[in-house]
Amino acid sequence: MLAFAATDLSSPARPRPRSVTQPSRLPSGSALPPAAPDAQPTAVARTTIALEYASLRYPHHSPTGMYVTPSPESLFVWDVVFFVHQGYYSDSILKFRITFPPNYPERPPVVQFLTDVFHPLVSQQDGSFNLAPRFRPWRPKDHHVFDVLHWVKAAFKKHALDDVREGDCLNKEAFRLYHDTTSSFSALATQSSMLSQSASALFDKDHPSMAGKGAHSIQFRELKPEGLGALREMLGLRDWAEEKA
């Protein structure tokens, strides 16, 4: 049994951003280049990001199976854990990061997976995720970060995988296997899922997939049997054996 600390969306945190590290590039197919590294976050960007985080408490804004928290260092960096419940990647526990540009919402955020995952839209080199298939182009007045979250979730479902174009794929091998040898693709997706659940991926900050990506704000810890019992009692949950009886 594992547990992690999730942020209460009804009371969003608004830490003062210290610095914003911009990725060196956007995934291929993105409509806009990254902002200048020395660009200063605007007041509009800060306000917009804070309001969009607060809006995640509204129905349908935050996808089920996703938990989001801003980084303690910067409001412009959000850490997310995504529990996949169905499809090729069923039971995956995926950590990813959303980094906002200093002039958001004029430019789209960047999504980067910290957990290794074999997916056509995810780069195997740095975990970059391509938003372009859903946001072509990015429209500041119409698109929001909750749309980004919903697209990330949808991208792991069959209907989205069927529609992905090869030109948008950051992992060409995953695209080829999905269309030519689905059984091989399924096996590698399942392997990704199993590795994402491993103790090293969940608990070890020095796991290879995290190299150079910084610590994730949502940390997992393993619960001992006695700790699990106390937690179930606090939440008013009965033991599985009792429920079956």
Confidence band of 207 (pLDDT split at 50, 70, 90): low
Q: What's the pTM?
A: 0.76
Percentage of residues in the chain having pLDDT higher than 70 = 77
Q: Quickly name the fold that domain 43-214 has.
A: Ubiquitin Conjugating Enzyme (3.10.110)
**Do 55 and 38 touch, CB atoms closer than 8 A?**
no
- Give CA–CA dist 79/232, Å, rounded: 27
Nearest to 126 by CA among 150, 97, 157: 97
What residue segments make up the domains of the chain, in order of their start? 43-214
Alpha carbons 243 and 216: distance in angstroms, whole number: 35
CA–CA gap between residue 238 and residue 141 (Å, rounded): 47
pLDDT, tens digit (0-9, with 9 covering 90-100), for 27-56 = 434 444 444 445 788 899 999 999 999 999
